[in-house]
Amino acid sequence: MSANSVYLAYLVAAVLFILTLKGLSSPISSRRGNMFGMTGMAIAVLTTLSLTHNVTYILLAIAVGGTIGAIVARRIEMTAMPELVAAMHSLVGLAAVLVAMAAFNNPVAYGIALPGEPLHSSNRIELFIGTFVGAITFTGSIIAFGKLSGKLSGRPLRFAGQHWLNLLLGIVMLGFGAAFFMNPSWMPFLIMTAIALVLGVLLIMPIGGADMPVVVSMLNSYSGWAAAGIGFTLNNNMLIIAGSLVGSSGAILSYIMCKAMNRAFFNVILGGFGGEAAAEASGDGEQKTYRSGSADDAAFLMSNADSVIIVPGYGLAVARAQHAINEMSKVLSDKGVKVRYAIHPVAGRMPGHMNVLLAEAEVPYEQVVEMDEINNEFADTDVVLVIGANDVVNPAAKNDKSSPIYGMPILDVYKARTVLVVKRSMATGYAGLDNDLFYMDKTMMVFGDAKKVVEDIIKAID
């Protein structure tokens, strides 16, 4: 392909990527957005392949990676989607590090230096930035994967002086980066990379499970900036544009997540929220009374209501109850009950987790309402069914100034006339906080597996 044809193809792909983000901003247009993204990526990949004369190894890598990806995609459960996303982020970071190493090892082959000439100063900066961001993304994403999958504890891991250690390591890493800039050689480059790998672990381990949605979107942003940095090294405009789009969208999403939790970004990164709260909750010996009922009781209340709002949480995903809850909604709607779903921005383990689950169950888009739009309607709602959610409906965020989540925007479930809560037990949520909603006079607890409870409710309604 001629240079002009390459630029034109990359421009078309870039426009399609922008349209992808626009499409993904709404559930109604998300399918179209995905199609734009896949088309743009196909154009970008084919255009890049046209620039090389030996594509055998590239095609082999695509075949192997594509096969593995297809197998994983078919086998992965919706409950495992958050850790899958974290795992994908780690691969992007690793790719950035490996490409930087390959480019530094043979800069002539990558077109960033002439034979016998040293690397240009701008290329040294690009290699440095792409490498350390990619390395932090790689190990940080692995730790996030471990926390999300349950292989590592969701509680924050802290030790005395950890912030000072991180600061010291960051300064040392920048020092070796400066040494690499002044005299490009393997020793400062590898030491800088090793420190960045350690920093990725140390930065994510202190972050508690309640902040995982922010961490996922943050790592998404990091992976984009790592890709953009390597794009500069390879002089690939498409990689720069795609990486910048991912990086900026991830950063904006991180801001939205932090706003939804009423927390500052650096407070999330440095705070490790969840540890003390869990300890306090587990050490509180106070016995509180609550009211429990059966699936038949829940069916009677909802079938005789005029309006029902369903609040899904991570427990819905664990029980794989999204299809059952959609069937229950249809049964209630056939009886003339107005049914809607209330979505909190940080419900689940990643941004949009509940939206993905409900879309997979083909819940009508018009029934799915975001927190800001539906909060004013809880007071006029007959029954709210909370299924697997905990922290995002905790009234302590509104009325307990001593609570770690005080000030965090929540779904105002406590204002409804009747609240039904489906849980396996009275255990605390991912943040480790007890929930006063469960002990209110208007609340009835229905214990059991969410899918089984919902199926029993459907039978009772029929």
311 closest CA partner among 273, 343, 271: 343
Q: What is the four-CA torsion angle of 33, 321, 67, 47, rounded to 10 degrees?
A: 10
Buried-state track 175-196, b at ≥16 Cβ within 10 A, e below 16: ebbebbeeebeeebbebbbebb
| Residue-range domains of the chain with CATH | 1-75 (no CATH), 81-238+263-273 (no CATH), 295-461 (3.40.50.1220)
Instruction: Show Cβ contacts of residue 326 under 8 Å, excluding neighbours closer than 6 positions.
Output: 358, 361, 362, 363
Q: Please state, in angstroms and rounded to a whole number, the distance separating the CA atoms of residues 229 and 214.
A: 23
Residue type, 399: N
Residues marked active site are found at: 391
The pTM is what? 0.77
Specify the DSSP element, H or E, that contains 422: strand 418-423
Q: Is 263 exposed, middle or buried (0-12, 13-18, 19+ CB in 10 A)?
A: buried
Kindly report the number of other CB atoms within 10 A of residue 116's CB atom: 6
Per-residue pLDDT of the chain (462 residues; tens, 9 = 90+): 677 888 899 999 999 999 998 888 777 788 899 999 999 999 998 998 888 777 888 889 889 998 998 898 888 876 677 788 888 889 989 998 998 899 888 888 777 778 878 888 888 888 888 899 999 999 999 998 888 877 887 677 777 888 889 899 999 999 999 999 998 899 999 999 999 999 999 988 887 766 777 788 888 888 888 888 888 877 888 889 989 998 998 888 888 777 766 667 776 666 555 444 444 444 455 678 889 999 999 999 999 999 999 999 888 888 889 999 999 999 999 999 999 999 998 787 777 788 888 888 889 888 999 898 999 999 999 999 999 888 889 998 888 888 777 788 889 999 999 999 999 888 776 656 788 899 999 999 999 999 999 999 999 987
